[in-house]
């Protein structure tokens, strides 16, 4: 047994998140520009909204705000998905949720690797939306076999990363030196490679089938395709992007602007055209590929199953009325329609709590603490809130939304990306490839809320 203490997984995750951000800023300078804009807007929001400032302090989100980001990758095989799960586990990141993108014309299914407990999220909220290509959805059999053969040949993990994953599994952790090396080795998997693994003709064939298929199959690894900082005012960032030379996608995905944000609103700038070298090219002879972009997100309250049903229903009604997904030309009408339908979603914290639409944490107020130990035993939490003895703050939604994710994918896939896949979602198959069942996000929010309630009541002597 070694005497060197293990580094906490959260610390490794924070190190990895910082290293990823530095690498991506270096590879995609526009991401750095976006980060600067987001930081300016966030500062402006905090300076002008004392209540927001207080809420972020209460929920301990203030410190993590600048650390906040998610990224996304797309892997090609069951084996890659299985190993990436083990890699993320070293950093305390576990698969939460199942997202089926096939109904929206994207031939993947996905999960999000993230920390599970609020104390760990506080240390580093970094998440990675991870998609597995569904080769079975390629209808051209010869191309499907060729793609499978190409993928079977590549190795996306370094020997060093594999050795340290194993060491972590055997020892139950990594010491500081190993953790440091692990971060460097893991980074290699997410790096951009200019050299493709296929000829230009192979690339074209894959691309003609679906741009996403070319993106996954034609390269040496699952390059990180975007990183996403969290903003406190996505409308302001969307509006200010053009002045910084960044062109945003047509509409912000997710719920409309609200006083109390719910779930997740997202927008992105379009993927950049980058030079790549196919195996039949050399020297100055280059091809091109669009893959990498930048995204921003504004996170709001995690919704209960009841709240989520209402959200899904109102979003579907909006899309029905619009006759499909929004486009550049009907963006204004889309926002108006969205707002109209979402007027049915309460925008008051107490109402959200009483209607059981969102998850909350509970904090005794100074007034409540002054009465600690004197409350009648049958006092309910609703009474405590209404009397002003307890204040409530919504729990941040840490996950993703399939319709929004499809919108982010599509905006970066160009016009030929809108294939329709009718095959059923296959969570069982995904979980078999992954090597475990995905964690239910609802249960995590529920547990956090219950922990908070128990601690609040104990403090009040109830
Ligand atoms: C993932 C797109 C989804 C999000 O934030 O919803 C996503 C991808 O393009 O690989 O990142
Ligand atoms: Ni994203």
* Ligand 1 mean position, distance from CA 409 (Å): 6
Q: How far does the chain reach from its first CA to its final CA, in angstroms?
A: 46
Give yes or no for a contact between 102 and 137, defined as CB atoms under 8 angstroms apart: yes
Residue 228 CA, closest ligand 1 atom number: 5
Ligand 1 pocket: which of 133, 295, 410, 413 to mutate (most atoms within 8 A of CB)? 295
pLDDT of residue 17: 95
Ligand nearest to the CA of 413: 1
Ligand nearest to the CA of 101: 1
Residues with CB under 6 A from ligand 1: 72, 74, 129, 131, 225, 266, 295, 400, 404-405, 408-409
* Ligand 1 mean position, distance from CA 398 (Å): 14
- Name every residue whose Cβ is closer than 8 Å to that of residue 329 and which is 6 or more positions away in sequence: none
Residue 110 CA, closest ligand 1 atom number: 1
* Ligand 2 mean position, distance from CA 18 (Å): 17
pLDDT of residue 68: 72
396 DSSP β-pair partners: 301
Give yes or no for a contact between 232 and 51, defined as CB atoms under 8 angstroms apart: no
* Ligand 1 mean position, distance from CA 49 (Å): 30
Ligand nearest to the CA of 408: 1
pTM: 0.95
Query: What DSSP state is assigned to residue 390?
Result: E
Reading the block at residue 148, the tokens are 């499978």
- Helix axes 427-434 and 78-90, enclosed angle (nearest 10): 60
Residue 55's φ and ψ, nearest 5 degrees, are: -60, -45
Residue 452's φ and ψ, nearest 5 degrees, are: -65, -40
Give the CA distances from residue 92 to residues 110, 188, 238, 408, in Å, rounded to whole numbers and listed in that order: 18, 19, 32, 26
* Ligand 1 mean position, distance from CA 390 (Å): 37
pLDDT of residue 2: 52
* CATH class assigned to 9-301+397-438: alpha beta
Give CA torsion, residues 365, 368, 373, 375, to 10 deg: -140
pLDDT of residue 417: 47
Ligand 1 pocket: which of 68, 72, 104, 407 to mutate (most atoms within 8 A of CB)? 72
pLDDT means per 10 residues, the chain with 462 residues, are: 82 96 90 91 94 85 81 97 98 97 90 96 95 90 94 97 98 97 98 94 93 94 94 94 90 96 93 91 88 92 98 96 88 96 97 98 97 96 97 95 89 63 82 97 98 97 96
pLDDT of residue 387: 96
pLDDT of residue 327: 85
Cα angle: 82, vertex 131, 214; to 5 degrees: 110
pLDDT of residue 282: 85
Residue 297 CA, closest ligand 1 atom number: 5
pLDDT of residue 64: 79
* Ligand 1 mean position, distance from CA 107 (Å): 13
Ligand nearest to the CA of 404: 1
Residue 459's φ and ψ, nearest 5 degrees, are: -60, -30
Give the separation between CA 101 and CA 441, rounded to whole angstroms: 18
pLDDT of residue 324: 83
pLDDT of residue 3: 64
CB atoms within 10 A of CB 142: 9
pLDDT of residue 14: 96
Give the separation between CA 421 and CA 49, rounded to whole angstroms: 45
Domain ranges of the chain: 9-301+397-438
CB atoms within 10 A of CB 149: 10
- Name every residue whose Cβ is closer than 8 Å to that of residue 324 and which is 6 or more positions away in sequence: none
């Amino acid at each position: 047994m070694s005497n060197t203490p293990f580094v906490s997984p959260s610390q490794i995750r924070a190190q990895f998140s910082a290293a990823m951000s530095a690498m991506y800023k270096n590879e995609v300078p526009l991401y750095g520009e976006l980060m600067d804009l987001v930081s300016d807007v966030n500062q402006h929001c905090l300076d002008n909204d004392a209540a927001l400032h207080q809420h972020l302090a209460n929920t301990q989100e203030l410190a993590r705000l600048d650390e906040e980001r998610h990224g996304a990758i797309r892997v090609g095989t069951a084996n890659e998905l299985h190993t990436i799960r083990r890699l993320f586990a070293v950093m305390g990141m576990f698969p939460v949720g199942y997202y089926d993108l096939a109904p929206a014309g994207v031939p993947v299914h996905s999960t999000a690797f993230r920390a599970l407990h609020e104390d760990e999220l506080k240390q580093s909220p970094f998440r990675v939306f991870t998609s597995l290509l569904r080769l079975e959805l390629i209808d051209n059999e010869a191309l499907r076999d060729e793609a499978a053969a190409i993928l079977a040949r590549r190795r996306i993990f370094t020997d060093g990363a594999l050795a340290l994953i194993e060491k972590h599994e055997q020892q139950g952790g990594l010491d500081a030196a190993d953790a440091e090396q692990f971060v460097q080795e893991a980074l290699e998997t997410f790096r951009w490679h200019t050299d493709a693994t296929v000829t230009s003709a192979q690339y074209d064939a894959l691309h003609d089938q679906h741009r996403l298929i070319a993106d996954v199959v034609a390269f040496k690894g699952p390059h990180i395709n975007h990183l996403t900082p969290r903003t406190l005012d996505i409308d302001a960032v969307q509006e200010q992007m053009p002045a910084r030379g960044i062109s945003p996608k047509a509409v912000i995905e997710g719920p409309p602007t609200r006083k109390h944000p719910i779930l997740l609103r997202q927008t992105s700038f379009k993927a950049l055209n980058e030079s790549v070298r196919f195996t039949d090219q050399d020297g100055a002879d280059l091809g091109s590929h669009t893959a990498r972009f930048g995204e921003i997100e504004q996170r709001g309250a995690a919704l209960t199953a009841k709240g989520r049903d209402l959200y899904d229903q109102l979003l579907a009604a909006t899309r029905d009325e619009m006759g499909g997904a929004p486009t550049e030309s009907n963006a204004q009408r889309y926002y108006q329609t969205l707002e109209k339908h979402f007027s049915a979603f309460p925008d008051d914290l107490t109402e959200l709590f009483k209607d059981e639409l969102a998850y909350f944490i509970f904090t005794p107020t100074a007034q409540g603490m002054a009465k600690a130990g004197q409350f009648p035993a049958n006092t309910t939490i609703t009474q405590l809130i209404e009397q002003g003895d307890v204040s409530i703050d919504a729990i941040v939604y840490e996950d993703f939304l399939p319709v929004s994710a499809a919108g982010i994918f599509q905006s970066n896939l160009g016009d030929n990306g809108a294939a329709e896949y009718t095959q059923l979602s296959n969570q069982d198959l995904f979980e078999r490839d992954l090597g475990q069942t995905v964690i239910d996000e609802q249960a995590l929010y529920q547990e956090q809320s219950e922990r908070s309630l128990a601690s609040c009541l104990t403090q009040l002597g109830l």
